[in-house]
Structure 1
Amino acid sequence: MSEKHSTDGEGEAANSVTSNSEFRSLVTSEVDALFEVLSDGRRRRMLAYLVENDVADYDELIDCIVGRKGETADEDERDRIVADLHHRQLPKLADAGLVEYDERSETVRYRGGDVVPELLELASAHEREVLEA
């Protein structure tokens, strides 16, 4: 059997437009997902810590979260934070491709790119401006 090939270039142009449109849609959804992840202060603090340290265990992340407020957490508070990390925060960061985590060893590794630290710095600068106003 012979295959039909378009010789007028319209087929290629249509495929290119579809691919380009799909690519733009994919990029837009990735950007939206990134900003959604960065919309939470707890996740921004964890990411900032991981950007600086590359790897952290749950205890370090808990200290990062609680220590920002200048407080220490009792055992119940630590358990709540671990549950939040495990069920909500870390899966969201992993789904966005920003971290990998191992539940058994309770370690988290940063996997985000170069743009994340820049966005974190921008968010931090804005927070400082608002607090100083």
Structure 2
Amino acid sequence: MSDVPLDSTDGRSGTDSPDTAPSVTPDTAFAALADARRRTVVAALCEHAEDTMLIETLVDHVVSREAPSTSTRRHVHTSIVNVELPKLHEWGLVEYDGVQGTVRYVDSPLVEGLLAQVAENDR
């Protein structure tokens, strides 16, 4: 099964103007939070929602939640930069600037609510 939501328009084709981003759909929210690393990334970005975060700071945060080692850090960095952030950006959950090396969370009450439920159940 793919991580990509099957229908990101939520059945409302043509209702969003081209210059306004659609709100996050349930399919997108579930896809974004289906992966443990993406949940860690989104949770870290939610904590710093008012500010942009350096990619390196985000990677350090994720590595601290996983098994920290030099090879793991390289793997985590590659995964975050090449897979997770581009997906989250495409889904409208982050503003990702690879040139500047920064990322910023885009508020989504749906994602935040789901993330809180997952965190509650993980306790």
Out of 53, 56, 63, the position equivalent to 2:53 is 56
Partner SS, residue 72 of structure 1 = coil
Q: Structure 1: where are the runs of 5+ without partners?
A: 1-20, 129-133
1:6: which partner in 2? none
Partner SS, residue 104 of structure 1 = coil
8 Å Cα contact 2:29-2:110 kept in structure 1: no
Between the two proteins, the alignment pairs up a number of residues equal to: 104
Alpha-carbon distance, 1:115 to partner: 2.2
1:108: which partner in 2? 103
Cα distance change, pair 78–122 in 1 and its aligned pair in 2 (3 A): same
What is the RMSD computed on CA atoms of the aligned residues? 2.4
Matches within 5 A, 1:55-94: 55-69=52-66, 71-74=67-70, 76-94=71-89
| Structure of higher RCO (CA pairs closer than 8 Å, 6+ residues apart) | 2
8 Å Cα contact 1:94-1:101 kept in structure 2: yes
Matches within 5 A, 1:1-133: 22-23=11-12, 30-54=25-49, 55-69=52-66, 71-74=67-70, 76-128=71-123
Aligned-partner residue type, residue 99 of structure 1:
V
Q: Structure 2: where are the runs of 5+ without partners?
A: 1-9, 16-21
Cα distance change, pair 32–22 in 1 and its aligned pair in 2 (3 A): closer
> What is the TM-score normalised by the length of structure 2?
0.73
Distance of 1:36 and 1:73 partners within structure 2: 28
> What is the TM-score normalised by the length of structure 1?
0.68
* Structure with greater Cα Rg: 1
